Structure 1
Amino acid sequence: METENQTGIAEFILLGLSENPELQSLLFGMFLSIYLITVTGNFLIILTISSNSHLHIPMYFFLSNLSFTDICFSTTTVIKMLVNIQTHTKSISYTGCLTQLWFVLVFQCWENCLLAVMAYDRYVAICHPLRYTVIMNPLFCGLLILLSLLISILNALLHGLMVLCLSFCTDLKIPQFFCELAQVLKLACSDT
């Protein structure tokens, strides 16, 4: 049984949110504004936490990492959509789609892992308040971030390699504005 992609496809078609040409400039302006607000807000959170020494505690350390993840996730998905709207194209290369898919999976999983780490941080703060600073020391917090990132990368690598083994049909239209794993799997002709 062969484990490589036998398709030879060049690109996927991202259908986006609307095919109405009159709405394209409105969508572009709206999503560009939302993207800029998201990046600016998260950057300000990171800047505030890093510049204020009173906020150098585990909860805010994890929050700044969550803000960084949000910036990366937004950049991974929205930039290609904005480029497609501006250039009036809907295509994304096979390699570009797999790359975007991998980064989306990394940042989604990392965000979920960070939320779990933040929940653990609050659990320790509430249930073990006297030992909180000993348990949640800077080294342990850094290790939790690295472990979260490692789990995310391994998860994305596993899913990405599985997608590489698939063959795809001729109808390669993704009803999204980015390459989402579930939508890419629906396009596969081979057994998923």
Structure 2
Amino acid sequence: MFEEKKKVAMRGAASALALGVLVAGSAQADDGGAAGVSMVSSAFYAALNDMLAGTPVSNEIAPLWLDADGVTAQHPIGGRDIGLNTLAGAFDGVASLAEGGEIALQDQAIAIFGDTAVETGVETGQATLAGKEIALEYRVTNVYTRTEDGWRMVHHHTDLSAPIIDLLASLHQ
């Protein structure tokens, strides 16, 4: 129990540090390329790990995204969230079910086209949601735009996860 709490505290500290670096110096730290995108990506995945620990993350997620009506997320549960408030709330919804786990981006590739960046990879890990342990492994695409404040996410898309969809369906029966 102590080790799990220690891991959660460490993830929270890492997430806060990543967000602090992003907010305080993203324009200066951004080399105009992959390093700036990678910094936002690292902060995003730190927030996802906080989410899997059961921590609401909308306040961590929001600064990483462009605050615009057209930002979107298509999560492993299906559907499409449109707008920053809606998609940030969806992450908090998962946090309300989460009891632990970890997720990481593997096989990361970043391609930059002017002021647009596309990141692809595979999200892997495990999560305990509503008391059930679920393996996480699906492809992901994240899209970023360069702003005067640095890179910001505009889209997050994963494959569907049948185990997560089945779990959510069982909770609504």
Which protein has the larger Cα radius of gyration, Structure 1 or Structure 2?
1
- The bucket for the TM-score relative to the shorter chain is 0.3 to 0.5
Structure whose residues are more often strand by fraction: 2
| TM-score normalised by the chain length of structure 1 | 0.36
Identify which of structures 1 and 2 has the higher relative contact order when contacts are C-alpha pairs closer than 8 Å and 6+ apart.
1
